[in-house]
Amino acid sequence: MSVQMQIASLILLFALGRLARWRGWLAPPHAGRMLQLVVNVGLPAMLLATLTRTPLTSELAALPLAAIVIMLITMAVAVFAGRSMGLPRASLGAFIICSMSINDAFLFPFVLAGWGPQAFAQLALFDVGNSILQATAVFGTAAWYGGHSASAAALLRRMISFPPFWAVIVALALNLLQVPVPAVVLDTLGWAGRLILLLVILALGILFDVRLLRSTRVVGIVLLRIGLGLALAWGFVELAGLTGMPRAVVLLAGMAPIGFSVVAMANREKLDSELAASAASLTVLMALVYVPVMLWLLHLPG
């Protein structure tokens, strides 16, 4: 199947999710269970299958650092922009965490279909930095603006309870120590992981909520998450001298849509959950258009 057909099939899967929600066959609780399966089984399986046999170079070490740099600078700009707009505390908190949240889970199926397992593994390395900040800076910001405490112990417990985090550690340890793992085991993990990861697209189709999105707050979040994110990614790859696939991965990940996890965080910490849901839905809708285009534009020969 061609790359174009694979991407088209992912878009069709999203549409099926919308149809299932419209007909009442599936509801948000079903999507939540799908995403739990992805996080607990699918993503760890794919990480183990790919990172275990991905050649590790000093250039690839820049990938998790890229995520950290992009997210922290975006956070600082979002704080300044949100305060300049005079947003109330609950809306400001949602504005900040949405602007800095990177939804690599959305990109994984597209990258796997369009660029293959090696690119998936590199995106997973980028996601190491993203996951660390999601469990610390993003969560801590939500708790702070929601008026709740976020102790170091609580943040640490949140991080170590994230299955993909441990999958990355185990895979990197096996890789660095050159522990032999039977090919049939890695191939089976990769096959199962690919199938389960497709549930991300179906779940997003179920969760997508069409709203009137003309608020300056939503527009501001979109500009920061996609526009500033891409600008920062471009600046990073230029300064770090990244080329080839690592460069393409950072550029694509830099402009990823908003993670739906921040919607749950906003609701939990009593932030402006409506703002978070509207902004996240809009960026996902936009990403369905620009991600396939960027996959084609960035994946240049050589």
Quote the CA–CA distance of 99 and 168 in Å, as a whole number: 25
Note the pLDDT of residue 151. 65
How far apart CA 156 and CA 291 sit, in angstroms, is 33
Residue among 172, 298, 294 nearest 243 (CA): 298
pLDDT at 112 over 90: no
Average pLDDT over residues 17-41: 86
Q: What is the mean predicted confidence (pLDDT) over 110-115? A: 84
Q: Which amino acid is at 197?
A: L
CB-CB neighbours of 232 under 10 Å = 21
pTM over 0.95: no
Domains in the chain, number = 1
Q: What integer pLDDT is reported at residue 130 of this predicted model?
A: 84
Q: Could you list the residue range(s) of the whole structural domain that residue 245 is in?
A: 3-298
Cβ-contact 7, 110 below 8 angstroms: yes
What are 253's two structure tokens?
A: 């990940």
Q: What's 278's domain CATH number?
A: 1.20.1530.20
Dihedrals φ, ψ of 52, to 5°?
-60, -35
Name residues whose C-beta falls within 8 Å of residue 274's C-beta, 6 or more positions apart in sequence: none
